[in-house]
Amino acid sequence: MSEVTEPRKPTRKKVELDPKLALYKGVWVFVEHERGQVHPVSWELMGEGRKLADKLGVELAGIVMGAPGEDVQKFCHQAMHYGADLCYLIKDEVLKDYRNEPFTKGLTDLVNAWQPEILLIGATTLGRDLAGSVATTLKTGLTADCTELAIDMDNRSLAATRPTFGGSLLCTIVTLNYRPQMATVRPRVMAMPPRDESRTGKIVEHPLGMIETAIITKVLEYIPDNVQGKPQLAFADIIVSGGRGMKKQENFQRIWDLAKVLGAEVGATRPVVQAGWVEADRQVGQSGKTVRPKLYIAAGISGAIQHRVGMEDSDVIIAINSDPNAPIFDFATYGIVGNAMVIVPALTDAFRQHLSTSRMAG
Amino acid sequence: MHIVVCIKQVPDSAQIRVHPVTNTIMRQGVPAIVNPYDLYSLEEALRLKDRYGGRITVLSMGPPQAETALRKAISFGADEAILVTDRAFAGSDTLATSYALASAIRQIQKDIPVDLVFAGKQTIDGDTAQVGPGIAKRLDMRLLTYISKIRELEIDHGTITVERRAEGGVQVLKTKLPCLVTVLEGTNEMRFATMNNMFRAARHPLKVWNKESAGIEDLTKIGLKGSPTIVSKVFAPSPKAVKAEIIDTESNQPKDLAVTLLAKLFTKKPDLAQDIAKNAP
Ligand SMILES: Cc1cc2nc3c(=O)[nH]c(=O)nc-3n(C[C@H](O)[C@H](O)[C@H](O)COP(=O)(O)OP(=O)(O)OC[C@H]3O[C@@H](n4cnc5c(N)ncnc54)[C@H](O)[C@@H]3O)c2cc1C
Ligand SMILES: Cc1cc2nc3c(=O)[nH]c(=O)nc-3n(C[C@H](O)[C@H](O)[C@H](O)COP(=O)(O)OP(=O)(O)OC[C@H]3O[C@@H](n4cnc5c(N)ncnc54)[C@H](O)[C@@H]3O)c2cc1C
């Protein structure tokens, strides 16, 4: 119950597992798609699932559920390009839009029929709705919103790590005497695996066995988000972020200028959003977006843990801060100690210069 | 109409600090609050009550101190409060928690049938978002998660129409009662407690249920025994071994620093130069 702040009884290293559990074999990744597009977290998980399956010496399967009119076959092949050995497919008219009832039945039936030892699902709104329902129906454990997965070879169990208390602590959770071991995984944390078009595998179709009249919930309408003009931080390759060190909204223009030259998205810390300098969609961190760009430029940002958890997996981090002891220098790739008001414009000029020379050359 | 709202008392995580040496959570003096996400659910339930009449029962499982959270809910306008508390529940994970709360809701239903159960989107401590779906499955109720708006409740037909946040848009869903709803943050703003309700909250006789009164039938399904997940390790994130390479030049003029940085950057990451060129307008 609320005694959650202390770890529960730690596990002993060697635990005798119920031999029945050995009947469960294989790693599964649920392939989430919406409006003809697979959610990138599914491929990130496929990459991670591949590693787990190899460690265990078992097969990796993709799970695709959808309506005949959707590109479900294509999604199966893509799953194999990203690392799956095979796919289980449930194709039925009633799976056209996500609804809890038919998806829970489909996935639960698949698990009961084929008995995987590990089932991974993206920690999206769809994934968390589905995973919680499926785990309860199967009466198994579910670790939420993980950021790291590993196999404990002592007993072949999944060790799933998740941040708690705003990222200031991590905890590792295992599901010992229950199968499958389920986990939802946060998007943009695992790296996108390479895509190999030559990979193929079989597709195993499974019936849903549920008709529309048996489903109580109806989808009346779907109103797609108007993404035009909305910041798309989660998928940006380059992000320029500013923090409270920029001091005023007018000064934040320097961040916008640099972003413009680079064709980058603008990000910010929570105090900047709270002060209303930029819209809430631009907040990076624990209560904002998790990003994983190739380049993250942080100006006037201290590097608090709640910000760090949202951006530390960026390929390259450049930090500009007037305080040589700012925590951001502990994990950035490059640092400039100085006044962001003048360093950021200098960087803007240098990048502009670089781009125009490389354009002339190429 | 009878609505049950599940609320959890949680430590105010904004004030949580981690002990620098032992890496344990320092919770002395950290105030306990009603899980902030649960307030959106409670307010939504109160609005339904304002519109359609009926009563609201708030339900919490936790240590005896969780009484404070329930009284808070009464001060906002809930009618009845039940605290499920028993040492046997200690260490419950989400599977065991949903079992206990679903049992308690079945007991509540014996008195007055329940049309709607509200739960928070997630908590700020366990943060799993799994208890709501778990309760719905155990009670065989329809599940509506991440609801941003309740469009309509047709009591005579026993139906509800809602807007649900999906990844790329909003789904408009219609389903039958009874159902379990989790409410998205920002959907509403909690009202102020009235003087009357504050007095009522202070005097209200809470119902306190142990495992028997909560109708727990199978003791192996609660507490540590009923929890498939086990926390095996709690630790602080390891500091990155490599610190930033600090750019230094003789002059330390902004321009020199910037040019030196770019030279280093593109030598070490030649691909990045191409990516930037591709990306730039
Ligand atoms: C529950 C919770 C959730 C949170 N979620 C988030 C989140 O999602 N995202 C987030 O960002 N924060 C979040 N926070 C807040 C977080 O704890 C920090 O307060 C925040 O990240 C600090 O923002 P900052 O770096 O802009 O400001 P500060 O910490 O104030 O840092 C400003 C920095 O600017 C430097 N500086 C000052 N002047 C200059 C100058 N002229 N040139 C260069 N540098 C200068 C200073 O040395 C300092 O390091 C959360 C907090 C809590 C409790
Ligand atoms: C660090 C840490 C990590 C954990 N990770 C996991 C994990 O990965 N998997 C797992 O199964 N368990 C996990 N637990 C245990 C979990 O926190 C407890 O099971 C807890 O009782 C409920 O989960 P939650 O706080 O995540 O609730 P959520 O599922 O996030 O809560 C959703 C809603 O359910 C209702 N609710 C939840 N608990 C109660 C309650 N006690 N009384 C009334 N209403 C309630 C509230 O309306 C709440 O808003 C973890 C605990 C800790 C401390």
pLDDT digit string, tens, across residues B143-194: 999 999 999 999 999 999 999 999 889 999 999 999 999 999 889 999 999 9
The tokens describing A310, both together, are 């949202």
Does residue B260 share a domain with residue B124? Answer: no
The answer to whether A60 touches A29, Cβ cutoff 8 Å, is yes
Taking only the tens place, the pLDDT of each residue in A175-201 is: 989 999 999 999 988 989 999 999 999
Residue A145, H or E segment: strand A142-146
Is there a contact between B63 and A137 if contact means CB atoms under 8 Å apart?
no
Does residue B261 share a domain with residue B166? Answer: no
| Residue of chain A whose alpha carbon sits nearest to that of B181 | A129
Percent of chain A with pLDDT over 70: 95
Chain A residues with CB-CB distance to B97 below 8 A: 1
Taking only the tens place, the pLDDT of each residue in B41-91 is: 999 999 999 999 999 999 999 999 999 999 999 999 999 999 999 999 999
Mean pLDDT, 10 residues at a time, chain A of 362 residues: 44 65 95 94 98 98 96 98 98 96 98 98 97 98 96 92 81 94 94 95 97 97 84 90 97 97 95 95 91 95 92 94 96 96 97 86 64
Cis geometry, peptide bond prior to residue B11 (ω within 30 degrees of 0): no
Which pLDDT does position B24 carry in this prediction?
65
- Provide the CA A164 distance to its chain's centre, in angstroms: 16
| Residue of chain B whose alpha carbon sits nearest to that of A265 | B279
B86 interfacial to chain A (CB closer than 8 Å):
no
Does residue B269 share a domain with residue B155? Answer: no
Distance from CA of A165 to the nearest CA of B (A): 6
Which pLDDT does position B21 carry in this prediction?
67
Fold of domain A233-361: Rossmann fold (3.40.50)
Which pLDDT does position B40 carry in this prediction?
97
Percent of chain B with pLDDT over 90: 79
ipTM of the complex: 0.88
Delimit the CATH 3.40.50.620 region(s) of chain A.
16-214
Nearest CB to B232; choose among A159, A312, A350: A159
Does residue B138 share a domain with residue B271? Answer: no
Does residue B271 share a domain with residue B177? Answer: no
* A271 Cβ inside 6 Å of ligand 1: yes
B160 lies in a domain? Answer: yes
Is there a contact between A165 and B125 if contact means CB atoms under 8 Å apart?
yes
Between the CA of B185 and the centroid of ligand 2 the distance, in Å, is 17
* A254 Cβ inside 6 Å of ligand 1: no
Q: How far apart are CA A123 and CA A103, in angstroms?
A: 16
The tokens describing B158, both together, are 């026993």
Taking only the tens place, the pLDDT of each residue in B115-146 is: 999 999 999 888 899 999 999 999 999 999 99
Of B194, B221, B248, which residue sits at a domain end? B221
Q: Judge whether A322 is annotated as a binding position.
A: no
User: Which numbered atom of ligand 1 lies nearest the CA of A284?
Assistant: 9
Chain B residues with CB-CB distance to A238 below 8 A: 275-276, 279
Atom 9 of ligand 2: nearest residue by CA position: A143
Does residue B175 share a domain with residue B99? Answer: yes
| A153 dihedral zone (left: phi>0; alpha: psi -120 to 50; beta) | alpha
Of B221, B249, B267, which residue sits at a domain end? B221
Does residue B153 share a domain with residue B245? Answer: no
Does residue B207 share a domain with residue B130? Answer: yes
The answer to whether B8 touches B35, Cβ cutoff 8 Å, is yes
Taking only the tens place, the pLDDT of each residue in A13-28 is: 556 678 888 899 999 9
What's A18's DSSP letter?
Answer: P
Q: Which domain holds residue B203?
A: 2-221
Does residue B182 share a domain with residue B116? Answer: yes
Does residue B56 share a domain with residue B17? Answer: yes
Which pLDDT does position B279 carry in this prediction?
79
- Provide the CA A122 distance to its chain's centre, in angstroms: 6
Query: What's the length of chain B?
Result: 281
Distance from CA of A202 to the nearest CA of B (A): 29
B233 lies in a domain? Answer: no
Of the ranges A295-309, B13-27, B102-116, B213-227, which one carries the lowest mean pLDDT score?
B13-27
Atom 27 of ligand 1: nearest residue by CA position: A244
B181 interfacial to chain A (CB closer than 8 Å):
no
Fold of domain A16-214: Rossmann fold (3.40.50)
Delimit the CATH 3.40.50.1220 region(s) of chain A.
233-361
Does residue B164 share a domain with residue B28? Answer: yes
Chain A residues with CB-CB distance to B139 below 8 A: none
Between the CA of A20 and the centroid of ligand 2 the distance, in Å, is 29
Give the CA angle between residues B68, B74, B75 to the nearest 5°. 90
User: Which numbered atom of ligand 2 lies nearest the CA of B128?
Assistant: 26
Distance from CA of A10 to the nearest CA of B (A): 5
B97 interfacial to chain A (CB closer than 8 Å):
yes
Is there a contact between A169 and B236 if contact means CB atoms under 8 Å apart?
yes
- Total number of domains constituting chain B: 2
B236 interfacial to chain A (CB closer than 8 Å):
yes
Between the CA of A71 and the centroid of ligand 1 the distance, in Å, is 44
Nearest CB to A216; choose among B92, B132, B142: B142
Residues with CB under 6 A from ligand 2: A 1, 4, 142-144, 164, 171, 173; B 6-8, 35, 37-38, 59-62, 92-95, 97, 101, 119-120, 122-123, 125-132, 229
Of the ranges A85-89, B98-102, B243-247, which one carries the lowest mean pLDDT score?
B243-247
Is there a contact between A141 and B93 if contact means CB atoms under 8 Å apart?
yes
B86 lies in a domain? Answer: yes
Is there a contact between A140 and B95 if contact means CB atoms under 8 Å apart?
yes
The tokens describing B215, both together, are 């109708």
DSSP per-residue string spanning chain B: -EEEEE--EEE-GGG-EE-TTT--EE-TTPPEEE-HHHHHHHHHHHHHHHHH--EEEEEEES-GGGHHHHHHHHHHT-SEEEEE--GGGTT--HHHHHHHHHHHHHHHHHHS--SEEEEES--SSS----HHHHHHHHHT-EEEEEEEEEEEEETTTTEEEEEEE-SSEEEEEEEESSEEEEE-TTS--PPPPPHHHHHHHHH---EEE-TTTTT---GGGSTTTT-SEEEEEEEPPPPPSSPPEEP--SS--HHHHHHHHHHHHHHH-HHHHHHHHHH--
Is there a contact between A8 and B91 if contact means CB atoms under 8 Å apart?
yes
Q: Judge whether A195 is annotated as a binding position.
A: no
Among A284, A302, A312, A337, the mutation site with the greatest number of ligand 1 atoms within 8 A of its Cβ is A302
Which pLDDT does position B275 carry in this prediction?
84
Atom 38 of ligand 1: nearest residue by CA position: A245
B55 interfacial to chain A (CB closer than 8 Å):
no
Does residue B210 share a domain with residue B71? Answer: yes
User: Pairing state of beta strands A27-31 and A118-122?
Assistant: parallel
Chain B residues with CB-CB distance to A225 below 8 A: 168-170
CATH of the domain at B80: 3.40.50.620
Distance from CA of A260 to the nearest CA of B (A): 8
